[in-house]
Structures are given as structure tokens and as C-alpha cells.
Amino acid sequence: MSKFPNITTTIFTTMSQMANQYNAINLAQGFPNFPVDERLKNSVAKWAKEEIHQYLPMAGFPPLLEKIAAHTQNSYHRKVNPTTDILITAGATEGIFAAIQALVNPNEEVIILDPSYDCYETPVVLCNAIPKRINLNDDFTPNWEAIGNAMNAKTRMIITNNPHNPTGKIWTENDFLQLEKLLDLHPNFIVLSDEVYEYITFENKHISAHHRPKLWNRSITVSSFGKSFHITGWKIGFLIAPEHLMQEIKKVHQYLVFSVNSIAQYAINDYLDMVQVSELSGFYQQKRDFFQTLLQESKFELLPCEGSYFQLASYASISNENDLEFTKRLVTDFGVATIPLSPFYADAKQTKCIRFCFAKDETTLQKATERLLKL
């Protein structure tokens, strides 16, 4: 008997398959299509010739852990212990899975804010715990009244995603103040802070859980080298958490993957000395602005994009179709693949919005918008 009888092919796979079938431009799945930095590729080539092909320590390559700790101090002014507080994971998804499996018990409740990424709910269900899906406000900001009303003695965790996929929203100072109030009211409550787009914010800078000392002892932050360095296929990320939480996460991690790809860890350790992650926001802001300019003459209404490499657009003035029908017609009739928003909601809420990924080269974005302007 299936544990997940209602789960079928993800919307990301479905739309990418349709893009391939109809030879459409794929602005659906969130992966860059431009080259990886030559310095990183050269580092991989160098280390591939060395005898580093066996298991690394379970928590990660020690020099890389040291570098992440230094990087966290430099970026966020937070001191973390590299031997106890950091874990290299097989992508952010494995880190999220391991954290939930380790820290959530049967019949406890986990708050998930919709629209939400699809990897959050499954590990909660596998814990025999209860996912509580709460919709964000219509402007995609947290509904703190609804969140507070949903909390009780069984609430174990809230999963936050900032910068947010799929909406591109980022949290404000007030959002963190509201979260901290809830932490004061519920002493057994912890935060899983998904920050894989932490270096991709624009006019307003990203506020991280790392910036908030009140969260340090009660939170797990999730980061992604794949997202930051345009290497999504490497599936490598890391968690930062206080030792008492990380000890439990490591117990699960060691039996999921034990350790993460050795060559990737050596190469990233080198690369962190070469790259300035602070430059990422400018790189992606150019792409966002270029894409927005190209779509100005379209019938889409572009929503604010404050972070990530996703642009939401309303098609309310174009069609009365539901978002799944509309995105499928975009592929078949106009040759552009996008992502509908309703699959990110437990209640399949219809917002008349779709998500574009603008982490593409300029030629791809130009060709896609030429087709979209025909709507």
C-alpha cells in the first residue's frame, strides 16, 4: 500500500517534460542555463586526478567546515563552531529531510506556509506528524494572526522560506519580531529556515535567521551551494544549527548518505577563496531587470520580485483559465514553459499567477518574451 497515494509526478517534472515534448523554452524548472565559472570547473578537474575519492568525514570536509564558519562570521556576524554546528548535506533537500526526521515526533505539528516548496510536507508525513498548511496573505507576506492561532502545545516546528520560492518575497524586520514573539510563547517550538536564495536579493537586503540572536538556539538554517554557485546538479548544501539540535540531525544524516561527494567538497573549498558571494545579487538583478523590461509591453502584470530568481506574473487580464490549463496552453500554443502557482498550495488556491525562472541567458529570455508578447 502506498504511503503517498495522492502524490504523482511533480509539477516541475510535468512542465519540463512538456517543454521537451513541444520544444518549448523552459522558464519553468529553477535551474540556470548559463556556464559554470571556469575556475570551479578547473578545480574539479584538478581534484579528480588526486586520490580523494573515498569517504570524507560524516559531517563534511574539515577545511570546508572551517571556511563556512568564517563565511558565516563575515556575512552575518554570527560565530558558529565548525566541528559541532555545521553539516554538509546532499543538497538542501536532504538537509531539510534529515532535520525534520530528526527533530519532529509522531503527532506533533509542523506549520508550512503556502505557497510552499514541495519537499516540505513529505518528511513531516513520514514522521507520522501533522503538516499544518497556512496560506500567506494575498500579497504573499506571512499572516501572523493565522500562524499564531494555529499554534498549540503540539506545535514543534515552523518551516520558513526566505527569500521565498515561488513568490520572490523577502521577510521584513517585523516578520522576525512576530516570529520571535511566538518563540517566547512556545518554548518547544523550533524554526527550520530555508535560505537557499540568501545571496539573491535586490533593493532590500536579505534578513537571515543568522542575523537574529534570539533564533540561534532554536533554529536550523538551510543553505545551498547549488543555488549560490549555479551548480544545481551537484546537489550539495549545508545546515547550521546549535549543537543540541545538530547532534540529532547528524544521527539521521549518517544513515541517509553518511557523507557527501568528496570532489565537490574539495572544489567548493577552493572556490570559496575565489568568489565573492556578495556579487550574486547584482548579477541576478541585471537578469531580473532585463526580463521585466522585455515583458513591459506584454499583457502580464508583473508582481514585485524582491529576491530569488523567480518572477511571478498575473495573467488575470489575459485568460479566465485555471493556472494549470493556462500554463499547459502556454507550452502547446506559444512554446514557453512556466509553473502554475496552485500546486504550491494544499488547497490548490487559484491566484491567476504563474512563475517564471529568469536564471537564463539573455538569448533565452529574449526568445521567450518574444513568444509571450503574442498573447
pLDDT tens track for 221-244: 999 999 999 999 999 999 999 999
Q: What is the pLDDT of residues 7-32, one digit of tens each?
A: 777 888 888 899 999 999 999 988 89
Distances (CA, A) of 171 to 82, 160, 195, 316, 368: 27, 10, 11, 26, 30
**Fold of the CATH domain 11-30+278-372:** Aspartate Aminotransferase, domain 1 (3.90.1150)
Please tell me the predicted confidence (pLDDT) of residue 111.
98
Scored b (16 or more CB within 10 A) or e, 203-238 reads eeebbbbbbbeebbebbbbbbbbbbbbbbbebbbbb
| Span 39-271 CATH architecture | 3-Layer(aba) Sandwich (3.40)
Domain ranges of the chain: 11-30+278-372, 39-271
Cα(171)–Cα(113) distance, rounded to whole angstroms?
A: 13
DSSP string, 116-173: --TTSHHHHHHTT-EEEEEEPPTTS---HHHHHHH--TTEEEEEEESS-TTT-----H
Q: What is the pLDDT of residues 173-230, one digit of tens each?
A: 999 999 999 999 999 999 999 999 999 999 999 999 999 999 999 999 999 999 999 9
Cα(236)–Cα(224) distance, rounded to whole angstroms?
A: 6
Cα(228)–Cα(200) distance, rounded to whole angstroms?
A: 8
Please give the distance of CA 174 from its chain centroid, rounded to a whole number.
Answer: 22
Identify the burial level of 345 via C-beta atoms within 10 angstroms of its C-beta, where 0-12 means exposed, 13-18 middle and 19 or more buried: middle
Identify the burial level of 126 via C-beta atoms within 10 angstroms of its C-beta, where 0-12 means exposed, 13-18 middle and 19 or more buried: middle
Angle between helices 91-103 and 243-256 (to 10 degrees): 120
Q: What is the pLDDT of residues 49-90, one digit of tens each?
A: 999 999 999 999 999 999 999 999 999 999 999 999 999 999
